[in-house]
Structure 1
Amino acid sequence: MLKINKQSKEKENLCRRIILFGAAVAMFALYFEKILWILGLIFNICMPFLLGGGLAFIFNIIANNIVRIYRSLTKKKENRIVRFLANIGSIAFVAALLAVFLIGIVPRAGASIQTIVQVMPRTLANIYHWAYYASKPVPFIHSWLKTLNADPGNISAMIENVTSWIVSGNVQDVVGSVYSVVTNTFSILFSVIIAVMFAIIVLFNKKTVVKEADLLMQAYLSKTHYKKSAHVIELIKNTFTSYISGSCTECLILGTLVAFFASVFGFPFAFLDGILVAIGALIPMFGALCAAILAALFTAIENPMQGVYFMIMFLCIQQVEGNFIYPHVMGRSVGLPPIYVMIAVTLGASLAGVLGMIIFIPILSCVHQLVSENAKTRITRKNKLEEEYEDS
């Protein structure tokens, strides 16, 4: 029987891989649109289950914290009843937060926005008159401002026209008909219901899901690949758990501090300002600052100087929070250098908008840690080979 030496076999395998890779690239180039359509269809089908998996992950984080508190208070081990009650408590906690948001926060925020809309015409008119008299040394700008009609009544009419155009004409053109509105609403509600049901099922059957997934990995992967896959999954779980817990806590603290001190110093729309800063803080790096600038503009509508004072107050709060509170809350939950955080935010914004800006940081953190571990392993192996070569 003719035997093929090892070197020829490796070359044959390499040629096969190159041919398969070239064929895959050619197929992808020829049927690019169809492939994207199929991938989009698969993504839309899986979306409720992906959302449900993410929601189950959040439920599990809350349940683990409840179990941790139970252990510290009672000095007892976790059992099935404790885990069941912790799961129920996590769902109740999220439902309570949603109820507080819908019943307590949304109406107050809506009232603040309504007040801003009512005050805006008078504020814009005052700004116009100030600009009109200040622009006298510049005839071109002064003559252009003179042609404008910036009375409060005219500005109110402009705002009403823009609002009616958005509500009636433009949205109707985009949506198309009442039937499409109902269909889209039903589709969203159905997806949300499926996601919530899937999350609850996964939460209460976590051990079964983990056990079956581990069994499949052991069956279809080699020992080496199984250990690597288990390590990657554990790294992803720990990174996302730390990031979600730390980010939510940090946003809540920063928003509460802004709302509290804004109320103490008598700034208007203090509650709305705190909500804006808390939501903006979910976006790393510049999210809280951008939200604070927007809140300062809302405050400046009532009183321009108070908008400046609000920004000074926010910068002081952010410095205190960033130097004393943030390190204890977040710690090294992500372990990502600032330059990589900026890259993650930029990539996330380009690929998936605001959601991408939030989730790309823990994703890039996992990639960064895996690459660092692989690089250290390679360097150690390289140094070992060099030492063996020198000894020989």
Structure 2
Amino acid sequence: MDLHEKEKMYQRLIVFTLFIGMFIYYFEKIVSFLGWIGTMCLPFLFGTGLAFVFNIISNNLMRYSIKWFDFKDTKIKRMISNILAICIVFAIFAAFVGIVIPKILFSIQTLLTNFPQMIYEFYIWLLGVTKNVDVVHDFLKNLDINAFSNSAIDNVSKKISSWLVSGGANDLFGSIYSILSTTFSWFAQVFITIVFSFLLLFNKEQVVRETKSLLMAYLPKRDYEKTRHVLKLIIRIFTSYVGGTCTECLILASLVTTGSLILKIPYAFLVGLVVGIGALVPMFGALVAALLCAFFIAMTDPIQGLTFIIMFICIQQVEGNFIYPHVVGKSVGFPPMYIIVAITIGANIAGIIGIIIFIPICSCIYQLVSEDVLSRLQTVREVSD
């Protein structure tokens, strides 16, 4: 290495060191600036996600129309499928707000109002069950049940239920709205999100075409092909996972709610919603949610709680063997042991949204690394041969 190359290396090292030092010194300001940029871009990110959902439904409508009715994929028919996709999403949202939410609020109010009585009845049931187990029975008899069923808890539950169904929640939402309105109107953000999603949906061909042109103009041919392959993989996995998982959660929630209504299990709509949300977490999310629901149902009626668990197991067997393979399938291609890692990382970073996003992200990384490993192994074999 000659003197000129050494001088360049030292200059780069000094610049890199200064950059790291400035980054550490101004770390809080950089994070604050990035947060401001993220807040400003939030409507566009949500709009992109909403357009992605619209596009999944539109593509499925178009695919089944071609398959069942032998339609041709024309611009007019694609526009009609986009409009139908938007109508379907807003119809589901309207039905959820107008029908499901009032029933869920009523179930929560009933649960909170009856909670002290439920605790007392559950305590009496446990005393009867543990008659032959002296240690547990004596322990239960020595418990101060009044601490769980006195008027204090009753008053707290009534206050909470009153807060949920009357003015308390409105005051909270009003406070949130006043905070958001100081920077950017909440209604304006929703409007921008919806309009931007519509623009993306109806101009997706132009967006794809311009993105391809941009990549072809600035990337070498080899890098362009790799980037295109990665983008196709990301779109395929996110489409399969997000669309399939949300559909599967909706089906499972509907089955649990319907089964609970048929068997006259209390809080049918509430337990259906909780199990549906729990199903967003693969492998054990729905089961944990079902056990939590069964516990609260059992405090009202232990037999009903046991009935709910048996019903859920039967529904999950049917759903896992017949519905899930057709709705979600194995398109994500991610081993279960890595799913647990992705769930843990996603939950710690961004909660339930992190869980939903991190599984397909980690699946993309896993498949790309697998492809690279196979390619390198094949090169090694060719060299050794």
TM range (shorter): 0.7 to 0.9
The question of whether the paired residues in 2 share the 8 Å contact of 1:246 and 1:333 is answered with no
Q: Identity, % of aligned pairs? A: 44
Of residues 22, 25, 30 in structure 2, which corresponds to 1:30?
Answer: 25
Of residues 185, 188, 191 in structure 1, which corresponds to 2:189?
Answer: 191
Q: What's the counterpart of residue 119 of structure 1? A: 114
The question of whether the paired residues in 2 share the 8 Å contact of 1:296 and 1:308 is answered with yes
Q: Root-mean-square deviation (CA), in Å? A: 3.3
Q: Quote the offset at 1:332 in angstroms.
A: 1.0
The question of whether the paired residues in 1 share the 8 Å contact of 2:121 and 2:300 is answered with no
Please say which of residues 159-168 and 345-354 is displaced more in the overlay: 159-168
Partners of 1:118 and 1:165 lie apart in 2 by: 12
| Long gaps (5+) in structure 2 | none
Partners of 1:76 and 1:177 lie apart in 2 by: 51
Q: Quote the offset at 1:243 in angstroms.
A: 0.8
Please say which of residues 24-33 and 357-366 is displaced more in the overlay: 24-33
The question of whether the paired residues in 2 share the 8 Å contact of 1:254 and 1:321 is answered with yes
Of residues 76, 81, 86 in structure 1, which corresponds to 2:76?
Answer: 81
Q: Quote the offset at 1:193 in angstroms.
A: 1.3
Q: What's the counterpart of residue 286 of structure 1? A: 284
Of residues 94, 118, 121 in structure 1, which corresponds to 2:89?
Answer: 94
Give the structure-1-normalised TM-score: 0.85
Q: What's the counterpart of residue 65 of structure 1? A: 60
Partners of 1:49 and 1:273 lie apart in 2 by: 33
Name the aligned partner's letter for residue 116 of structure 1. Answer: L
After the TM superposition, which residues 348-363 of structure 1 pair with which residues of structure 2 at under 5 Å, given as runs?
A: 348-363=346-361
The question of whether the paired residues in 2 share the 8 Å contact of 1:250 and 1:329 is answered with yes
| Long gaps (5+) in structure 1 | 388-392
Partners of 1:164 and 1:122 lie apart in 2 by: 18
Q: What's the counterpart of residue 222 of structure 1? A: 220
The question of whether the paired residues in 2 share the 8 Å contact of 1:281 and 1:288 is answered with yes
The question of whether the paired residues in 2 share the 8 Å contact of 1:284 and 1:358 is answered with no
Q: Quote the offset at 1:256 in angstroms.
A: 2.3
Of residues 322, 335, 338 in structure 1, which corresponds to 2:336?
Answer: 338
Q: What's the counterpart of residue 377 of structure 1? A: 375
Q: Determine helix, strand or coil for the equivalent of 1:284.
A: coil
Please say which of residues 181-190 and 313-322 is displaced more in the overlay: 181-190
Instruction: Describe the superposition over 1:267-287 as per-residue Cα deviations: whole angstroms up to 9, x where unpaired.
Output: 222233222212221222222
Instruction: Describe the superposition over 1:343-366 as per-residue Cα deviations: whole angstroms up to 9, x where unpaired.
Output: 110110011111001111111110
The question of whether the paired residues in 2 share the 8 Å contact of 1:280 and 1:287 is answered with yes
Q: Sort the Cα spacing of 1:305 and 1:222 in 2 relative to 1 into closer, same or farther, 3 A.
A: same
Aligned residues: 379
Partners of 2:15 and 2:322 lie apart in 1 by: 55
Q: Sort the Cα spacing of 1:131 and 1:249 in 2 relative to 1 into closer, same or farther, 3 A.
A: closer
Q: Sort the Cα spacing of 1:186 and 1:291 in 2 relative to 1 into closer, same or farther, 3 A.
A: farther
Q: Quote the offset at 1:204 in angstroms.
A: 0.8
Name the aligned partner's letter for residue 126 of structure 1. Answer: E
Name the aligned partner's letter for residue 65 of structure 1. Answer: N
Partners of 2:61 and 2:219 lie apart in 1 by: 35
The question of whether the paired residues in 2 share the 8 Å contact of 1:119 and 1:301 is answered with no
Name the aligned partner's letter for residue 261 of structure 1. Answer: G
Q: Quote the offset at 1:187 in angstroms.
A: 3.0
Partners of 1:264 and 1:177 lie apart in 2 by: 41
Partners of 2:135 and 2:330 lie apart in 1 by: 56
Q: Sort the Cα spacing of 1:353 and 1:236 in 2 relative to 1 into closer, same or farther, 3 A.
A: same
Partners of 1:141 and 1:48 lie apart in 2 by: 54
Q: Quote the offset at 1:35 in angstroms.
A: 1.4
Q: What's the counterpart of residue 312 of structure 2? A: 314
Of residues 41, 44, 50 in structure 1, which corresponds to 2:45?
Answer: 50
Partners of 2:169 and 2:264 lie apart in 1 by: 39
Q: Sort the Cα spacing of 1:240 and 1:18 in 2 relative to 1 into closer, same or farther, 3 A.
A: farther
The question of whether the paired residues in 1 share the 8 Å contact of 2:242 and 2:356 is answered with no
Q: Quote the offset at 1:372 in angstroms.
A: 0.8
Name the aligned partner's letter for residue 116 of structure 2. Answer: P
Partners of 1:104 and 1:115 lie apart in 2 by: 17
Q: What's the counterpart of residue 270 of structure 2? A: 272
Instruction: Describe the superposition over 1:23-54 as per-residue Cα deviations: whole angstroms up to 9, x where unpaired.
Output: 44333222211111111111111111011011
Q: Determine helix, strand or coil for the equivalent of 2:185.
A: helix
Please say which of residues 12-21 and 120-129 is displaced more in the overlay: 12-21
Q: What's the counterpart of residue 297 of structure 1? A: 295
Of residues 251, 254, 276 in structure 1, which corresponds to 2:252?
Answer: 254
The question of whether the paired residues in 2 share the 8 Å contact of 1:116 and 1:301 is answered with no
Q: Determine helix, strand or coil for the equivalent of 1:145.
A: coil
Partners of 2:71 and 2:174 lie apart in 1 by: 60
Q: Quote the offset at 1:323 in angstroms.
A: 2.8
Q: Determine helix, strand or coil for the equivalent of 2:114.
A: helix
